[in-house]
Amino acid sequence: MDPGDPAPSAQPDLDVKASNRAREALQQVRASIGSVVVGQDGTVTGLLAALLVRGHVLLEGVPGVAKTLLVTTLARSLDLRSTRVQFTPDLMPSDVTGQSILDPDGGGVRFREGPVFTNLFLADEINRTPPRTQAALLEAMQERQVSVDGAARNLPTPFLVVATQNPIDHEGTYPLPDAQLDRFLFKLVVGYPDRAQEQDILARHLDGMDAGSNIEVAPVATAADLEAARRAVAQVRVEPAVRDYVVDLARATRETPSIELGVSPRGAAMLLHAATAWAWLSGREYLSPDEVKAVVKPTLRHRIRLRPELELEGATADGVLDATLASVAVPR
What would the DSSP string read from start to end of 202-225? Answer: HHHHHTT--TTT-------S-HHH
- Return the percentage of the chain with pLDDT > 70, whole number: 92
> Taking a C-beta distance cutoff of 8 angstroms, is the pair 189, 61 a contact?
yes
pLDDT at residue 212, as a whole number? 55
Q: Is pLDDT of 45 > 60?
A: yes
Range list of β-strands (E), 87-201: 98-102, 109-113, 120-124, 145-148, 151-154, 160-165, 186-189
| Fold annotation for 11-235 | Rossmann fold (3.40.50)
Strands 57-60 and 145-148 come out as unpaired
Considering Cα of 81, then 47, then 135, then 86, what sign does the dihedral take? negative
pLDDT at residue 119, as a whole number? 92
pLDDT at residue 214, as a whole number? 56
Residue type, 251: R
pLDDT at residue 213, as a whole number? 52
Closest CA to 212 of 84, 118, 106: 84
The mean predicted confidence, pLDDT, of the chain is 87
Residues whose CB is less than 8 angstroms from the CB of residue 116 and which lie 6 or more positions away in sequence, other chains included: 83, 96, 97, 98, 137, 140, 146, 155
Number of Cβ within 10 Å of residue 131's Cβ equals 13
- Return the percentage of the chain with pLDDT > 90, whole number: 55
DSSP designation for 117: S
Burial-class residue 244 by CB neighbours within 10 Å (0-12, 13-18, 19+): exposed
| Fold annotation for 236-332 | Helicase, Ruva Protein; domain 3 (1.10.8)
pLDDT at residue 327, as a whole number? 95
Q: Is pLDDT of 60 > 70?
A: yes
pLDDT at residue 5, as a whole number? 43
Q: Kindly list the domain boundaries of the chain, sorted by start residue.
A: 11-235, 236-332
Same fold, 11-235 and 236-332: no
Cα–Cα dist 270/303, whole Å: 11
Residues whose CB is less than 8 angstroms from the CB of residue 276 and which lie 6 or more positions away in sequence, other chains included: 53, 233, 234, 236, 238, 287, 291
pLDDT at residue 169, as a whole number? 57
- For 251-276, the pLDDT digits (tens) are 999 999 999 999 999 999 999 999 99
The mean per-residue pLDDT over the stretch 320-328 comes to 96
Q: Is pLDDT of 178 > 60?
A: yes
Tell me which of 28-32, 244-248, 280-284, 308-312 is least confident: 308-312
Residue 3 binned pLDDT confidence (cut-offs 50, 70, 90) = very low
* Residues 18-22: contacts with CB under 8 Å, at least 24 apart: 18/228, 18/231, 18/232, 19/228, 19/229, 19/231, 19/232, 19/235, 19/280, 19/285, 21/225, 21/228, 22/225, 22/226, 22/228, 22/229, 22/232
The mean per-residue pLDDT over the stretch 219-229 comes to 89
Q: Which of helix, strand or coil describes residue 303?
A: coil
Strands 151-154 and 145-148 come out as antiparallel
Cα–Cα dist 251/262, whole Å: 8
Cα–Cα dist 190/39, whole Å: 10
Q: Is pLDDT of 7 > 50?
A: no
The mean per-residue pLDDT over the stretch 154-176 comes to 83
CA angle 44, 45, 51 (to 5 degrees): 90
pLDDT at residue 295, as a whole number? 97
Closest CA to 286 of 215, 222, 237: 237
